[in-house]
Amino acid sequence: MTNRTAFITGASRGIGRACALELAKVGNKVVLAARNREKLEEVATEIRDANGEAFVVEIDLASSDSIKEAFAKASKDFATIDILVNNAGVTKDNLALRMKKEDWDIVLQTNLTGAFLCTQQVLQGMMKARWGRIVNISSVVGEMGNAGQANYVASKAGLIGLTKALALEMASRNITVNAVCPGFIETDMTSVLSEELKQTLMGRIPLKRLGSGQDIAAAVRFLASDDASYITGTVVDVNGGMYM
């Protein structure tokens, strides 16, 4: 059991929620951050009911002011953030030919710039403590590409590059930075896919199933632990073999 504090963005549902529950389960205090306070409170209640400690902050990853404010609120209750999970993400899919600049901007701003700005908020505290874990949730499409998602793919590929650069910068301070690349996971984001498209996807996944939030959370829990102290700058693929 640890007694560290983890800050998870996009913690109100899907992968972020699963990560928050998992990190709380092994004894971390968790700061749940997302735009939807009501949903965050539901997750917080679930954690508290299991005797965990949870704190809720609203955050809009597209706004640098909102990011600063959220971390300032969290640091009033917790002196340092030991673990950061950059998970929040949005999609605005379209073919590149038709993609509006604002749809490009909002996805890059939220998924990549937002993650960078969150990371900046925790680095000093981690450097002072000489211990830190940063886990960036990228995506299988950031490695293999996907038609109709130039903005999303670019943001997720960017996260992988950011992971490697930060891992090099932070290694001497005992701060590890890694990325997890989920494949197709059963979340609200994938629930809108047609049955036909799901079957087509299954054909591309050797394990013949969509992943669960729990599959991702298990990888995050490991990377955020002391057991993963010699792993940094790495991309962990959790995709059922869809991309190797």
**Alpha-carbon distance 106 to 90, whole Å?**
8
Pick left, alpha or beta for residue 216 (phi over 0 → left; psi -120 to 50 → alpha; otherwise beta). alpha
Assess whether 152 carries a catalytic annotation.
yes
CA distance 229 to 222: 10
Catalytic residue from among 152, 153, 177, 180: 152
How many alpha carbons fall within 13 Å on the CB side of residue 163? 28
Quote the longest CA-to-CA distance of the chain: 52
DSSP class of 178: E
Q: Please identify every residue annotated as catalytic.
A: 152
